[in-house]
Structure 1
Amino acid sequence: MKYYLLLLAVFGYHISRAQNQYKVVIKDDKTRQVLPGATAAIVTLNIAAVADTAGNVVLSGIPNGKFEIKFTSVGYLQQSKIVMFPVSETDQPLEVFLEPHSGELAEVTIQTTRTNQNLRDIPTRVEALPQEELDEKGTMRPGDIKMLLGESTGINVQQTSAVSGTANFRIQGLDSRYTQLLQDGMPLYQGFSGGLSLMQVSPLNLKQVEFIKGSASTLYGGGAIAGLVNLISKTPQEDPEFTFLLNQNTAKGLDVSNYYAQKWQHVGTTIFTTYNHSGAYAPGNTTFTAVPKTNRFGINPKLFLYIDDKNKGWFGVNTGYESRRGGDIQVLNGNADATHQYFEQNTTYRFSTQFSFTHIIDPASQVNIKNTVGYFDRRYAEPAYSFNARQTSSYTEVNYVYNGKKVNWVAGVDAWTDYLAVQPYQQLGYTLNTFGGFAQNTYKANNWFSVESGLRLDYNTPSPADNTNGLLLLPRINALIKITNQLTSRVGGGLGYKMPTIFNDQTEQQGYQYLQPLIIGQIKAEKSIGLNGDINYHAILDGAVVNVNQLFFYTRVNNPLVLVNNNFINANGYLKTQGVETNVKVIMDELGIYLGYTHTDTRQYFNSMVNAQTLTPKNKISADVTYEIENSFRAGVEGFYTGSQLLYDGTTGRGYYTFGLLLQKMWKHFDVFINGENITNQRQTRWGSIYIGPVSSPLFKDIYAPLDGAVFNLGVKIKLM
């Protein structure tokens, strides 16, 4: 009898320790796509499994009883289920749907590197602002992208006119001429239009903005020494879209934008129109305008063709007109006299075409062709002085892309043409052509290591005063190391160059006055070497998505082009910038917290002397807290600190803090928003005069802080489709 009792006890013990299985497939709640790499775990039993490429997860070795199973995936809200084991047997696994975390970048596809890979799989360090963040920034400043760039770590927006509001942006302490601003991978805003470009791009039709900080010359050629910004436009989707935005601000500004998109079987279209107006605005009874009198019109229609499964393309036109007049507020109000007569007038006309075509050879490879032709006419005038110029440029590229399981290839050729005609100073005009070939390889050695290497060869005519006859070779290499599932690192570097032109922040600031001719054949190209590395931590901790990124950067530019007594010369020495960027992002349900810090040390090593780079703050801090109920409500508060910076006259511009507030209520077809920028009214004109000399012919000091002070805006966004 005792043997039967012992056998019964052993049988009962094994029943209590039965080895159950639990099968699920984990999918995205919105797209219904499977989520490879998602996890399912029973924490109390220390049992976990990872989803395969089909999203399937199998948990094994589960005893009988009631247990909580947690389902997670990077970029998605955690979900939990209580399950009683044993469960009834079924041939089909249960489906679990995870909700994407608002604003997360886990599934962002990057276009700037040509291979259309996922952000987390690219060895090149790329930052991206998705459409959710662009929508937020677009309600803060709907008329331009100046704020959008200026609030990013490592990027400093530098105002180049005290009265006209023109501005450029600097990446990691380097002058704006070392950066590229692209739209859909094409250079639409270079050269003579640079000082106005940030002010002439409205964000309503953008779906993503991508940043590469550091050398990006392999794919994009000369000028990408400090990095680039690529503005990615919206494209037609299955559902039509019609959005109308109206915004008014307290600095006498009005913004009206409209975006329409629709897709049919073989044809699609987008039409983006914008009108921006501002009255002359001089806060605090200052003498000169902080915001110029502006009228700007723009239209950007595109036609998309979906010919068949293997061929598609689009053609677009970008045209705009702007009149921008700043200066003495009495002059702009029609009260000029013998003392009050100073003004700056910018009248610009922009016209460009864009073309893109893709032929898919097979599921792994394709050929892409793209072209843009641009015409920019800018007429600048002051009392007794004018500078009129027309820039005609083009860019054409043909590339081949192969995406394999372990190896990706991008190879192609491109051609740039740039022609500038100047009146009445014909000697400042030039013609510059660049022909290049490039190849880039991405090799995924295993699950934890990938390397991306590239090589570019450019031929420039006329050639600079180097011993290379216009030929410049640019290698680059980057590596991605996945240390753990939560910890990754990217390291890399490359060479770059910049052909000499008359366009930089200093010449823009002085209105191109008194310049001596620049003869390309007598000046060396500026050449650089750049290195960067980062460590990134990304995890879900107690339901909160935590991302911490620490970047280190170093760039050296040899023989930089400087303006001495209105002559362009190569400095005898080099320019060096180095520093760190720290970014922290925490998302907990509806609450998002963003912290950023940039330390930049940029120095000139000229003629055996060392000097700090002007207009480059060493320290910048940003903080942003947002609360958002998706498609219902958004509230945010942000604060920024910009440290002191050396000015051209040898003085130091003081550090300052700015703060902003945003409230937005969303309905299905209607949004209303109110926003306040610089609400503590930090303004350079409150701390002293921004000019010297007589009011009739002022000499303006460097602008390092806001001039417009506190500005509030109220707007509506109507979504009819």
Structure 2
Amino acid sequence: MKRIFMLLPVMLLYCGLMAQNTFKAKVFNYQTKAALKGATANIPDLKISASADTSGLITIPNIPNGKFEMEITYVGFVKREMVYAFPQKAPEQILEISLEPSTGELAEVVVQTTRTDQNLRDIPTRIEALPLEELDEKSTMRPGDIKMLLGETTGIHVQQTSAVSGTASFRIQGLDSRYTQLLQDGMPLYSGYSGNLSLLQISPLDLRQVEFIKGSASTLYGGGAIAGLVNLIGKVPEKEPELTMLLNGTTAKGTDASVFYSQKWQHIGTTIFGSYNYNGAYDPSNTGLSAIPQTNRFTVNPKMFLYMDDHNSGWFGVNTTYENRLGGDMQVIAGNADNVHQYFERNKTFRFSTQLSFTHKIDDKSRINFKNTVGFFNRQLSEPGFDFKGRQVSSFSEVNYVHNGEKASWVAGANLLTDNFTAEPPQNSLNYNLTTIGAFVQNTYKATNWFSLEGGLRVDDNTPAPAKPSNGLFILPRLNALFKLTEHLTSRIGGGLGYKMPTLFNDESEQDGYQHIQPLNIGNTQAEQSYGLNGDLNYHSALGDEALININQLFFSTRVDRPLILQNNTFVNAPGHLLSKGAETNIKLVMDELVFYLGYTYTDTKQYFGGITGTQPLTPKHQFSFDSTYEIEGSFRFGAESFYTGPQLLSDGTTGKGYITFGLLVQKMWKRLDIFVNAENLTDQRQTKWGRIYTGSITNPDFKDIYAPLDGVVVNAGIRIKILN
């Protein structure tokens, strides 16, 4: 009997250790609440694990009593580590565990450009997005403008329009800049005359996301979105205040100083961005001409946000930029002009615009939105013996209704756009005036879990009207389809019509400096009309437990009838059409802290004019990009990138040389401080190495096409101070 009592505690202890408990939990995406099929729960001490079923449910039986650490993991999401005690107080309860997407996973991006605020994966329209994490990296590479941000995007080619002033435009899928739209929060702040210097006057520090639509987007945004659009989305205040300062210097005599502040209270919030950008005239090739002009720029962009109640909210912002940009002969810039050294190109610009956005939420599914922008842009372009002064006053107003249902989403609205350009004598014959009234409707229908269809229709009426056949009225249908073929493979196919009103503001006018351009008679010039089609395949999958791969293959084709061409300094309709077709390949591999990106663009743009076929100048057929980043979140970042631009036909009939550039970025981050060093074009590729960039004399140079860098190796270094975050 005594032995039995002695063995009883041992038996009870043994039974306790051998007690069997069952752990049950549902794992879901923190942002979208979607179940994460295949998520893994692991108990290291017991060396047991289990995976989630199609509903995200994980079940682990036969767990003994005690406290055990459990790891919940899913590829592309941040790992969670928790300690559970067994037996549980409510053993039958199914726990809910949420995982947050990691930095390298871009699958859960919510986009605004289609106006429905849907997840990127669920939209039939093909949209690419650069979220805040990637913009954070780009802002340390070139804090003063978005030229690099766009130039490093597959399918977008940045074209320099001045050899000495650095002005540039961007082209999507081989089509001129006039066929693209640059938007700020969905509003055309940078259209017409004011768009020519936009790439150089926008800072990425003020942005939280950039969205791209490549291909016709005219049904959503009207004339000019034939090749596509870029939507720059500004930051909004959060509950936690933010105060960030950035100081940057370059080996090319550049200095940037920026500050951003934001805070949200109960019913009000604000964001304030200000910057000063300076660059001294820089001539790395000793040509006697500035590869980078002398520049002084001030920018102030304040916004006020109102959160009146659960149904009404809005914001009001002001965009102000002043810039003095002087390029040309280095001796003239230094104030040492003489009989030989006389050439200069000065741009003085002042940009002021207001933005207003208001949303009334009817219920959980429906809302009404109103937005408006009024812009004023003044520019004085001066060259020896020539001054071109002009100002633009433009406005855009839109009201739309959005309804997001379980099966169908609707967007319907109307907008009014005015654009008035006035030049001072003697160039006042170039004055331009346009009013556009438009209405549109769009429906997104989720027929099944694997198929969605998005259709839209827009009607625009323009005054003054161009010559027939359209006579100012344009009807623009669009159709896009999304196929979720498997869990890992999706496809989008879409197309639509577009148009572009005749205008003087394009790359050719900028290259000429408006000196010889003749007036445009809209009534005697036909509008350009387009037909676009694109389709893609997208594959994403896990590679083992530590890697994620995403492969996207896009094919595109756009035809533009009667494109405007410059003949004898006058813009006329070409007797034929322009056809741009090609493909884009994007491969992204995420392996925990390491990310690899490979991009390739093939562009074949041909002119079919008067029965003669020719290649579009300044359009490289082949472009490659490679980028690799190693990042320990919040601690360290190292990046290396390389770009290849293939040979391209130039306007004089010669062929520009292909070239490769290479860059490096090192960034160390602490809680309140970042230090970064970035080097661009370490291969020192310069067009001036391969020949003169102008003909004639330095007194009166006639510049050739600029197709390669002029500034050579540029290293920048700086600090970012997060005073509040």
- Write the deviation string for residues 444-480 of structure 1: whole angstroms up to 9, x where unpaired: 0111100100000000001110233311000000011
Flag the 1:462–1:668 CA change in 2: closer, same or farther, 3 A.
same
- Write the deviation string for residues 369-398 of structure 1: whole angstroms up to 9, x where unpaired: 000000000000100011111011000000
Flag the 1:519–1:42 CA change in 2: closer, same or farther, 3 A.
same
User: Which residue does 1:3 correspond to in 2?
Assistant: none
Please state if 1:478 is matched with 2:477.
Answer: no
Letter aligned with residue 446 of structure 2: K
Q: SS of the counterpart of 1:39?
A: coil
Letter aligned with residue 370 of structure 2: I
User: Which residue does 2:113 correspond to in 1?
Assistant: 112
Shift of 1:512: 1.0
User: Which residue does 1:708 correspond to in 2?
Assistant: 711
User: Which residue does 1:376 correspond to in 2?
Assistant: 377
Aligned-pair identity (%): 62
Please state if 1:640 is matched with 2:643.
Answer: yes
- The answer on whether the counterparts of 2:185 and 2:233 sit within 8 Å (CA) in structure 1 is yes
User: Which residue does 1:524 correspond to in 2?
Assistant: 526
- Write the deviation string for residues 69-128 of structure 1: whole angstroms up to 9, x where unpaired: 996656415679999999997132234453522132122110000000011111000000
Q: SS of the counterpart of 1:284?
A: coil
User: Which residue does 1:450 correspond to in 2?
Assistant: 452
User: Which residue does 1:39 correspond to in 2?
Assistant: 38
- The answer on whether the counterparts of 1:26 and 1:51 sit within 8 Å (CA) in structure 2 is no
Shift of 1:193: 2.0
Please state if 1:600 is matched with 2:603.
Answer: yes
Please state if 1:685 is matched with 2:688.
Answer: yes
- The answer on whether the counterparts of 2:31 and 2:100 sit within 8 Å (CA) in structure 1 is no
Q: SS of the counterpart of 1:174?
A: coil
Q: Tell me, in whole angstroms, the C-alpha distance in 2 between the residues paired with 1:385 and 1:32.
A: 57
Q: SS of the counterpart of 2:285?
A: helix
Q: Tell me, in whole angstroms, the C-alpha distance in 2 between the residues paired with 1:256 and 1:40.
A: 45
- The answer on whether the counterparts of 1:24 and 1:94 sit within 8 Å (CA) in structure 2 is yes
Flag the 1:685–1:657 CA change in 2: closer, same or farther, 3 A.
same
User: Which residue does 1:668 correspond to in 2?
Assistant: 671
User: Which residue does 1:5 correspond to in 2?
Assistant: none
User: What does 1:376-455 align with in structure 2 at a 5 Å threshold?
Assistant: 376-424=377-425, 425-455=427-457
Q: Tell me, in whole angstroms, the C-alpha distance in 2 between the residues paired with 1:678 and 1:467.
A: 48
Q: Tell me, in whole angstroms, the C-alpha distance in 1 between the residues paired with 2:285 and 2:695.
A: 19
Flag the 1:672–1:643 CA change in 2: closer, same or farther, 3 A.
same
- The answer on whether the counterparts of 1:40 and 1:59 sit within 8 Å (CA) in structure 2 is no
Equivalent of 1:506, from 505, 508, 513?
Answer: 508
Q: SS of the counterpart of 2:196?
A: helix
Letter aligned with residue 662 of structure 2: F
User: Which residue does 1:16 correspond to in 2?
Assistant: none
Unaligned runs of 5+ in 2: 1-19
- Write the deviation string for residues 7-31 of structure 1: whole angstroms up to 9, x where unpaired: xxxxxxxxxxxx9975213255xx6
- Write the deviation string for residues 596-645 of structure 1: whole angstroms up to 9, x where unpaired: 00000001000101111000000000001110000110001100000000
- The answer on whether the counterparts of 1:35 and 1:73 sit within 8 Å (CA) in structure 2 is no
Q: SS of the counterpart of 2:332?
A: helix
Q: Tell me, in whole angstroms, the C-alpha distance in 1 between the residues paired with 2:494 and 2:91.
A: 50
- The answer on whether the counterparts of 1:160 and 1:195 sit within 8 Å (CA) in structure 2 is no
User: Which residue does 1:578 correspond to in 2?
Assistant: 581
- The answer on whether the counterparts of 2:350 and 2:379 sit within 8 Å (CA) in structure 1 is yes
Q: Tell me, in whole angstroms, the C-alpha distance in 2 between the residues paired with 1:32 and 1:517.
A: 54
- The answer on whether the counterparts of 1:278 and 1:295 sit within 8 Å (CA) in structure 2 is yes
Flag the 1:97–1:702 CA change in 2: closer, same or farther, 3 A.
same
Q: Tell me, in whole angstroms, the C-alpha distance in 2 between the residues paired with 1:580 and 1:21.
A: 52
User: Which residue does 1:694 correspond to in 2?
Assistant: 697
Flag the 1:506–1:23 CA change in 2: closer, same or farther, 3 A.
same
**Deviates most, 233-242 or 540-549:** 540-549
- The answer on whether the counterparts of 1:280 and 1:289 sit within 8 Å (CA) in structure 2 is yes
Q: Tell me, in whole angstroms, the C-alpha distance in 2 between the residues paired with 1:73 and 1:464.
A: 57
Q: SS of the counterpart of 2:225?
A: coil
Please state if 1:151 is matched with 2:152.
Answer: yes
Letter aligned with residue 470 of structure 2: T
- The answer on whether the counterparts of 1:40 and 1:69 sit within 8 Å (CA) in structure 2 is no
Please state if 1:256 is matched with 2:257.
Answer: yes
User: Which residue does 1:359 correspond to in 2?
Assistant: 360
Equivalent of 1:495, from 490, 494, 497?
Answer: 497
Unaligned runs of 5+ in 1: 1-18
Q: Tell me, in whole angstroms, the C-alpha distance in 2 between the residues paired with 1:501 and 1:438.
A: 24
**Count of paired positions:** 698
- Aligned-residue CA RMSD in angstroms? 2.5
Letter aligned with residue 713 of structure 1: N
- The answer on whether the counterparts of 1:39 and 1:72 sit within 8 Å (CA) in structure 2 is no
- The answer on whether the counterparts of 2:41 and 2:58 sit within 8 Å (CA) in structure 1 is no
- The answer on whether the counterparts of 2:466 and 2:526 sit within 8 Å (CA) in structure 1 is yes
User: Which residue does 1:546 correspond to in 2?
Assistant: 549
- The answer on whether the counterparts of 1:291 and 1:708 sit within 8 Å (CA) in structure 2 is yes
Q: Tell me, in whole angstroms, the C-alpha distance in 1 between the residues paired with 2:666 and 2:324.
A: 32
Q: SS of the counterpart of 1:138?
A: helix
- The answer on whether the counterparts of 2:585 and 2:601 sit within 8 Å (CA) in structure 1 is yes
Q: Tell me, in whole angstroms, the C-alpha distance in 1 between the residues paired with 2:479 and 2:131.
A: 26
User: Which residue does 1:221 correspond to in 2?
Assistant: 222
